[in-house]
Structure 1
């Protein structure tokens, strides 16, 4: 069925004249201007796509890549392009990739208008460090203070597209079987050097969810850093696990696949969990979905807390432009409340794990220290922090036990 769908899409694509590179840039300019007006990036792309029936799947993918690339590099590209507009960003992005601007900005056949003399000139000033790192000034200050000498590498990683990682589901097979199955669907992947069961997709990522390995539950989309964190939780057959902020259930699936444990998924929004039963069935694991926890206690409680997402901003670049100091403080306060609430659901002799996809101390180590000061009977047993890079996203994990 997947091959038939792919063939049908290819046939449809053949009946649609592909947009020129210049027309794709023009489309990206319009989408970026919608983002500047306050529209979320996904909504802006959907609006363009619905109004551009002439665009084939390759055109939509190309425009999406241009838009996300431009929004990730919003400050540096706007500096290079001379204006914080969609047009300025695309001029700057093309300069950064050493693309010949005169071949794009022709004003012909749906191409953007020719460059003005000011636009054709190189920037008169050198960008400051926050501009070069594509972060708001206050956030670059936090990165330097919180990450130190690794701040620049982390910020630079957030300027580029994130690598795609898959988690091999041990209930369905091993990495060798997964690699063979992916290859049969035209998807090339390689094993992660450090994280067992993690595969980095080299090519063909857009076909993953149409492939046999995904349909059979052999693989799931999950970043390598998140996988590494879940592998650190000590699990034994027969234990109970609560994923207290489960969302779509990715981490609950990873834990259920590791051992014969009873996993319960909970989230304040029941709608976020609606796909968990189907995902669990495909993976061959059992996950109970609980809208209310009551007095439930479990051997392991995971609080994968809502956060700034600063370790994953290359996937959601709008986050770094929307976050404010007060918003960051609000996240930290919410995280503290969730940790306090989670202690009530840890069974005697059990453990509590706290995770974020943030690189910022206020959400990570500062919250850990504050938790320990409020709860003297708890001890920090494990800590992991990974920064964004080719090996995965930014991720933080702390595990506590009662003393």
Structure 2
């Protein structure tokens, strides 16, 4: 495909996504229906679509659409931001977008700061209050791609050995400062999934911030550990690679855990999947709760624009409910690790303050906050200690 044909494809995909189609599904359907497109074409179109979604407000502004984006305006604005010659793309040649009209040729003025930072209008005040002086650098970071990071499975390798094996397969990495197990992929990222190092369970794809959270949870070898909102089980596997404890993974949507047994076998660890973890007595309970995902908007940019005040209220209510449920599963003197990949105080520190009010006999032993940056996503962690004896 020519560069112009790729842009045309991205325009059509963005129009579907703006009408409500999930981005990942739209890309999958497009690839299935356009089998002539090679892997390079699919990757390039995917990158364009996700870049436009990350920069939806600023690209729409640069494309002259203001607050009424279209796929064409988004791609025009994105190409302008990237310094491309738009007249060489919008030519009306075979499979190319039609030439720009007079209105599209008018260059817009300087965008207001929230638009330039691609900040959702209704969330600006909350994000500014939550991020403080980090507001501008964090929102700037979220406009670009997230890093690709691997977790080295300490049951099978160490970072230096894994890096050497990856290099033999054309995958370049550097140590990531956020976690001792983290390797940032600097070249050859698309080779990872088919590499022997990955297939043999020496590495897993996992953000360095997520790895750091798992590393911070205190787990003894004889502990009973419940991952209450396990999702795909990434943190369960990270914990299980550290110690030989008893691990149980649970999620409200069991289908999310479908692949975990195979991943655990590949990693050489033991994890039991359970759909009924309501019993108490766990020494460690990990609650990586559903959240806005704002700390990881680079990876799921559509979520930034789909979030609404009502949905945020639902999420914070659910987080509070999960905290109380997880507390009931925690043994006397045990640890409850509350985690989000969110930036908003309402999902993080405010939840812990509210929990402490509801459960005054619990102790907050530690909180950690990481911001999205070149090394990883944004996360929040609170370690809560249950009273030695239940009331």
Instruction: Specify which of 245, 248, 251 is matched with residue 267 of structure 1.
Output: 251
Q: Structure 2, unaligned stretches of length 5 or more?
A: none
TM-superposed CA distance for 1:117, in Å, is 1.3
Q: 1:113 and 2:98 equivalent?
A: yes
Residues 5-44 of structure 1 correspond to what in structure 2 (within 5 A)?
A: 19-44=1-26
RMSD of aligned C-alpha atoms?
0.9
Query: What residue is the counterpart of 1:278 in the other structure?
Result: 262
Contact map agreement 1:242 1:264 (CA 8 A) in 2: yes
1:136-167: CA deviations, max 9, x gaps? 11212211111111011111111101000110
Instruction: Specify which of 362, 365, 368 is matched with residue 349 of structure 2.
Output: 365
For 2:283, what is the secondary structure of its paired residue? strand
TM-superposed CA distance for 1:237, in Å, is 1.2
TM-superposed CA distance for 1:29, in Å, is 0.3
Q: 1:305 and 2:289 equivalent?
A: yes
Residues 247-262 of structure 1 correspond to what in structure 2 (within 5 A)?
A: 247-262=231-246
Query: What residue is the counterpart of 1:55 in the other structure?
Result: 37
The TM-score with structure 2 as length reference comes to 0.97
Cα distance in 2 for partners of 1:221, 1:243 equals 19
For 2:47, what is the secondary structure of its paired residue? helix
TM-superposed CA distance for 1:126, in Å, is 2.6
Instruction: Specify which of 65, 72, 87 is matched with residue 102 of structure 1.
Output: 87
Cα distance in 1 for partners of 2:169, 2:280 equals 43
Cα distance in 1 for partners of 2:17, 2:135 equals 27
Contact map agreement 2:200 2:266 (CA 8 A) in 1: yes
For 1:258, what is the secondary structure of its paired residue? coil
1:247-286: CA deviations, max 9, x gaps? 1100000000111111100111111111110000000000
Instruction: Specify which of 131, 139, 142 is matched with residue 147 of structure 1.
Output: 131
Contact map agreement 2:331 2:386 (CA 8 A) in 1: no
Q: Structure 1, unaligned stretches of length 5 or more?
A: 1-18
Stretches of 4+ aligned residues off by more than 3 angstroms? none
TM-superposed CA distance for 1:205, in Å, is 0.8
Contact map agreement 2:149 2:207 (CA 8 A) in 1: yes
Residues 52-131 of structure 1 correspond to what in structure 2 (within 5 A)?
A: 52-83=34-65, 84-123=69-108, 125-131=109-115
Query: What residue is the counterpart of 1:237 in the other structure?
Result: 221
Cα distance in 2 for partners of 1:312, 1:135 equals 14
The TM-score with structure 1 as length reference comes to 0.94
Q: 1:379 and 2:389 equivalent?
A: no
The alignment of Structure 1 onto Structure 2 pairs a total of residues equal to 384
